[in-house]
Amino acid sequence: MNFLIYLINGIGLGSVYAIIALGYTMVYGIAKMLNFAHGDVIMIGCYTVFLTMTRYGMNPYISVALSVVVCTLLGITIEKIAYKPLRRATSLAVLITAIGVSYFLQNAALLLFGANTKSFSNVVNVPGITLADGALKISGTTIVTVVVCIVIMLILTWFIKNTKAGQAMLAVSEDKDAAQLMGVNVNGTISLTFAIGSGLAAIAGVLFCSAYPTLTPYTGSMPGIKAFTAAVFGGIGSIPGAFIGGILLGIIEILGRAYISSQLSDAIVFAVLIVVLLVKPTGILGKKIHEKV
């Protein structure tokens, strides 16, 4: 019975990692860059929801929608200013700029909102499910997060397969230069990717903070790195991979803590990650890299 409880908790935690990892992996798949600022965009999204709801008493749905708009605009702006000029430079240079952006967002939030912890109110008011005479509880937040994850995953997959913009993304991710030659607007496509990724970050942020309701300017950095781990775990660039990677990461973290050692839970998670990557060097659902000679 305890095992089932741990498993459900693991899925709860994992679903949050998964939804953050979706945005991460999408940007990576198309723009081929690790957007270390993704976690901090999430944080900004959370603050938007928090302020509009608690300070101005807005309806939760409106404030979530507003936060999606804010994050999308933020994502586009960041991309324009900090990443676009480096499009032809090495991917490491963009990575470093992303770190700069991450510091910037954290410190801007610190100045704007103060260092004090804010308690986020749960936006999700779906009742949980109780099984086995109350011994097993699945919280409403977990259910919503998993459902939202799957919905987003399906929409993204559909979008990429069936729309012109999606096909353009696919083309850009395969070969930027060839895509350009075929008349695809590469810059526009990458901007669109950032816009979608950042919009997803807002939704991820709301669900993250609903599940774990504390908010500080540094709220985004830890989930950011965990989502990166999850995305790599599942095979970076693969959308279903991010989902699977996130859920697995959550389960491993909880089970490792429950059955091996709570002090060493970080080490356990990362050790499992290393073993998985050694067996499958491109993650669980990662594409095999074919190298041209």
Residue ranges in 196-215 that form contacts with other proteins under rule CB under 8 A: 212-214
SS3 214: strand
- Of 47, 50, 194, 243, the one binding other proteins (CB under 8 A) is 50
CB of 117 or CB of 163, closer to other proteins: 117
CB of 165 or CB of 258, closer to other proteins: 258
Binding mask 168-197 for other proteins (x = CB under 8 A): ------------------------------
Phi, psi of 129 (to 5 degrees): -110, 135
Q: Are the C-beta atoms of residues 79 and 194 closer than 8 Å to each other? A: yes
Nearest to 240 by CA among 225, 250, 230: 230
Asked if 89 touches other proteins (CB under 8 A), the answer is yes
Task: Return the DSSP state at 290.
Answer: P
Shortest Å, Cβ 163 to other proteins = 28
Site for other proteins in 29-48 (CB under 8 A): 34, 36
User: Which stretches within the chain are classed as H helix?
Assistant: 2-31, 38-50, 60-78, 91-113, 140-162, 164-174, 176-181, 186-211, 221-234, 239-259, 265-279
Asked if 225 touches other proteins (CB under 8 A), the answer is yes
Site for other proteins in 91-110 (CB under 8 A): 92-93, 95-97, 99-101, 103-104, 107-108, 110
Shortest Å, Cβ 128 to other proteins = 8
CB of 185 or CB of 280, closer to other proteins: 280
Which of the ranges 65-73, 117-125, 152-160, 240-248 carries the binding residues for other proteins, by CB under 8 A?
Answer: 117-125
Asked if 277 touches other proteins (CB under 8 A), the answer is yes
**Number of CB atoms found within 10 A of residue 277's CB:** 15
Nearest to 98 by CA among 44, 33, 43: 33
Asked if 166 touches other proteins (CB under 8 A), the answer is no
**Number of CB atoms found within 10 A of residue 234's CB:** 28
Q: Are the C-beta atoms of residues 102 and 234 closer than 8 Å to each other? A: no
Asked if 265 touches other proteins (CB under 8 A), the answer is yes
Asked if 125 touches other proteins (CB under 8 A), the answer is no
Asked if 127 touches other proteins (CB under 8 A), the answer is no
CB of 99 or CB of 154, closer to other proteins: 99
Q: How many angstroms separate the CA atoms of 128 and 251, rounded? A: 19
**Number of CB atoms found within 10 A of residue 131's CB:** 11
CB of 154 or CB of 267, closer to other proteins: 267
- HSE-CB at 89 with a 13 A cutoff on CA atoms is 11
